[in-house]
Each structure stands twice: as structure tokens, then as C-alpha cells.
Amino acid sequence: MHAIIVTGGKQYKVAEGDTLFIEKLPAEAESQVVFDEVLAILDGESATIGTPTVAGAKVEATMLPSIQVSIVVSKVPVSLVVETARKVLYTGAFGDGKIFVYNVENVVKVRTGGQGYDALQDEEAK
């Protein structure tokens, strides 16, 4: 069984167990959300089409966490890091993510005040 829902001005065809990437949905990770704008319900050969929505129909979903990773590169070519990340992170699904590359003017370690390359180095625990 599939349903066609509307959220954020876009239509999505969904089925139980699907994972979707929906931009700017105001909900926290692991929270439940309900989509009540269901345009159609498709069940094998039969279909229920809404006018404009199917009365009483809803789709429930659980929000997954989003992840952001920051990598600062100083001794390895940036292109090597980007290509490796693309290969490792690629799933082929919509929403694989984006890689932003920009220059870092300086790094300051809060605890020690170290700057530049030295601020990026981990110190052994004493």
C-alpha cells in the first residue's frame, strides 16, 4: 500500500518502512509527526483519490536525526578528503547530503590559546 502526501509544497509517494528526506520539517529527532494532507491511497489495483484530500486519512512517521560532520584539513590534500567522503557517504538515495569546502583563516584552541596547526593537535592525557 502506498500513499501520496503533501508537505512543504511537495508531493511524496510513501509506503511503510520508507525513509524520506524532507527539507525544513519543524520536528525534533525521534519525535512522531502526522501528515494529514493525503492526496491518494494506492492499494494494488485499487486507488482512493482525494478531492482534494482523502477524508480521515493520515500518515504517521518517526523523525530520524540529522548529522553534521566538520573536518579541518591541514596536511592532506582537500580533494582527497572530499573524494573519500563522497565514496564512503554515497548511498544513491535522495538526501545523501552536501560537502561544503571553505578556507579556515585561523584555529584557536580555547583551553590553551594555541593557534594554527598547533591548535589542531591532540595532546596526550596526563
Instruction: Please tell me the total count of domains within the chain.
Output: 2
pLDDT, mean of residues 57-69 = 88
Residue 82, phi then psi, degrees to nearest 5: -65, -45
Inside any domain, residue 84? yes
Which pLDDT does position 75 carry in this prediction?
81
pLDDT, mean of residues 97-120 = 88
Which pLDDT does position 91 carry in this prediction?
83
CA 69-71-25 angle, 5° bins: 25
CATH number of the domain encompassing residue 83 = 3.30.70.120
Domain that holds residue 23: 2-62
On whether both 91 and 57 belong to a single domain, the answer is: no
Query: Residue 65 burial by CB count (10 A; 0-12/13-18/19+): exposed, middle or buried?
Result: exposed
Q: Which residues pair with 60 in a beta bridge?
A: 34
pTM (2 decimals)?
0.58
